[in-house]
Amino acid sequence: MRAADIASDLTDVLVTEEQIHTRLDEVAAQVAADYDGKDLVLVGVLKGAVMVMADFARALPTLVPMDWMAVSSYGASTKSSGVVQIRKDLDTDLHGKHVLIVEDIIDSGLTLSWLLENFASRGAASIEVFALLRKPEAAKVVIDCKYVGFDIPNDFVVGYGLDYAEKYRNLRDVAVLAPHVYS
């Protein structure tokens, strides 16, 4: 589904599917160079990072294992609560591995800050972050994000894995959700 198919639910398209794929190719080339010869594992954060992780992993020119963790701090709200709940833990032992967390979006940074501490306590050799989207104006904590796809305004966005109440994840573009949808 494209933004034009649900234009009445959206106010603005911020990033198109084509722009996303171009940027994923660029970041994948940089990650491949940075981790050449290292034991890298990609960790996706469910559910939002599914689209990013799938397309990013396919853009990488090397074989790399993937694992998933499900955490939540949103529920059905448009703002993070800051309280992290683990809904699915990793299957992979991170000890001695170079971890690249693949995120759909960094909003407040609270959930990601918690993940970084959690993964460090598991003995990872290194931990870096790739976020497709980042909202600098929404940050409540400073996150060192080595790889960023796009900086976007502090609006509530959907698409390319991002949802509102489990809808809009399959939108191919990233767009601002119209307030009348969630008010």
**pLDDT of 56:** 98
Query: Are the CB atoms for 59 and 25 separated by under 8 Å?
Result: yes
What is the token pair recorded at 144? 């060192």
Tell me the pLDDT tens digit for each residue of 27-81. Answer: 999 999 999 999 999 999 999 999 999 999 999 999 999 999 998 765 555 555 5
Q: Report the C-alpha gap between 80 and 76 in whole angstroms.
A: 10
* 144 counts as catalytic: no
Distance of CA 170 to the CA centre of its chain: 15
For residue 65, how many other CB atoms are within 10 A of its CB? 12
Between these two residues, 138 and 90, which has the higher pLDDT value? Answer: 90
**Which one, of 48, 91, 83, lies nearest residue 67 by Cα?**
91
Q: Classify 3-168 by CATH class.
A: alpha beta
Q: How far is CA 153 from CA 28, 105, 158, in A?
A: 24, 12, 13
| pLDDT at position 170 | 97
Cβ–Cβ < 8 Å for 10, 176: yes
Q: Are 149 and 132 in contact (CB under 8 A)?
A: yes
pLDDT band at 111 (very low <50, low <70, confident <90, very high): confident
Query: Domain map of the chain by residue range?
Result: 3-168
Query: Which member of 107, 155, 163, 173 is catalytic?
Result: 107
**CA distance linking residue 104 with residue 26, whole number of Å:** 16
Cα dihedral 183, 143, 98, 15 sign: positive
pLDDT of residue 81: 56
Q: How confident is the model at residue 16 (pLDDT cuts 50, 70, 90)?
A: very high
Q: What's the rounded Cα separation, in Å, for the pair 8 and 181?
A: 9
| d(C-alpha 89, C-alpha 122), whole Å | 12
CA-CA distance, 155 to 178, in Å (whole number)?
10
Please tell me the pTM assigned to this model. 0.92
The reported pLDDT for the residue numbered 142 is 87
Query: Residue 87: is its pLDDT beyond 80?
Result: yes
